[in-house]
Amino acid sequence: MDRTLKDLSKQQQDFFNTVYIQLNTYQKAAELLNVDNKTISQLNISLEHIWRPITKVRDKWKLKEIGGNFWDFYNWYLTAEKKCHYCGITEEDLNELHKIGINNKRITRGRTLEIDRKIADEKYSKIENLTYSCYWCNNAKTDTFSEEEFKIIGKAIGIVWNQRLGK
Ligand SMILES: [Zn+2]
């Protein structure tokens, strides 16, 4: 569980997990927690400052079907270094590249880092297998290259990015 939830009451924690992590409806949560709709509504309002930022991370967790314990992923998400594991580019620099014009076509993909599995065969739920990758490294690495092999290739990609960025 995240430390921001630790100071909450048991009822607030249960509500949070039931609605925001397990994605039950308010109606279902009222049944499961054995409370009325008014209490559900109050719980919801009292926790808004917590669920707003956390649900953004939860949506990524759901979208990627990462599975496992949400809080393990959440802690990884908060602490992982936000640059491509292979070429080293940051999101700031990716935005810079897009401003310069990354190729002749107007591409929109690749402004943000993607979540990659270092070992492609292993599940996303294995947190130590997760890392950030830029779109280009992720796209080129596929299932063909191992993490260590692609680090060699990524180094060269990083040199090219830096040339383009005038670094
Ligand atoms: Zn990269």
Residue positions counted in the chain: 167
Decide if pLDDT at 1 tops 80. no
- Ligand 1 centroid, distance to 141 Cα (angstroms): 10
- Ligand 1 centroid, distance to 104 Cα (angstroms): 20
Decide if pLDDT at 105 tops 70. no
Q: Return the pLDDT at 101.
A: 81
Q: Return the pLDDT at 104.
A: 63
First to last CA, the chain: 41
- Ligand 1 centroid, distance to 70 Cα (angstroms): 26
DSSP states of 93-161: HHHHHHHH-SSSS---TTSS-EEEESSTTS-TT-GGGEEEE-HHHHHHHTTTS-HHHHHHHHHHHHHHH
- Ligand 1 centroid, distance to 155 Cα (angstroms): 9
Q: What's phi and psi for 135, nearest 5 deg?
A: -55, -40
- Ligand 1 centroid, distance to 133 Cα (angstroms): 5
User: Looking at per-residue confidence, does 11 or 68 come out higher?
Assistant: 11
Q: What is the rounded CA–CA span in Å between residue 14 and residue 42?
A: 14
What are the structure tokens assigned to 99, written together? Answer: 């401003």
Percent of the chain with pLDDT over 90: 58
- Ligand 1 centroid, distance to 124 Cα (angstroms): 19
Average pLDDT rounded to a whole number, residues 7-17: 91
User: Looking at per-residue confidence, does 102 or 94 come out higher?
Assistant: 94
Interval 59-97: pLDDT, tens: 888 888 887 888 889 989 989 999 999 999 999 999 999
Closest of 110, 115, 114 to residue 125, by C-alpha: 115
Q: Return the pLDDT at 4.
A: 73
- Ligand 1 centroid, distance to 54 Cα (angstroms): 27
Decide if pLDDT at 164 tops 90. yes
Grouping H, G, I as helix, E, B as strand and the rest as coil, residue 81 is coil
- Is the distance from CB of 4 to CB of 71 less than 8 angstroms? no
Interval 109-133: pLDDT, tens: 788 999 999 998 888 778 899 999 9
Query: Mean pLDDT lowest for which of 4-8, 42-46, 105-109?
Result: 105-109
Q: What is the rounded CA–CA span in Å between residue 106 and residue 104?
A: 7
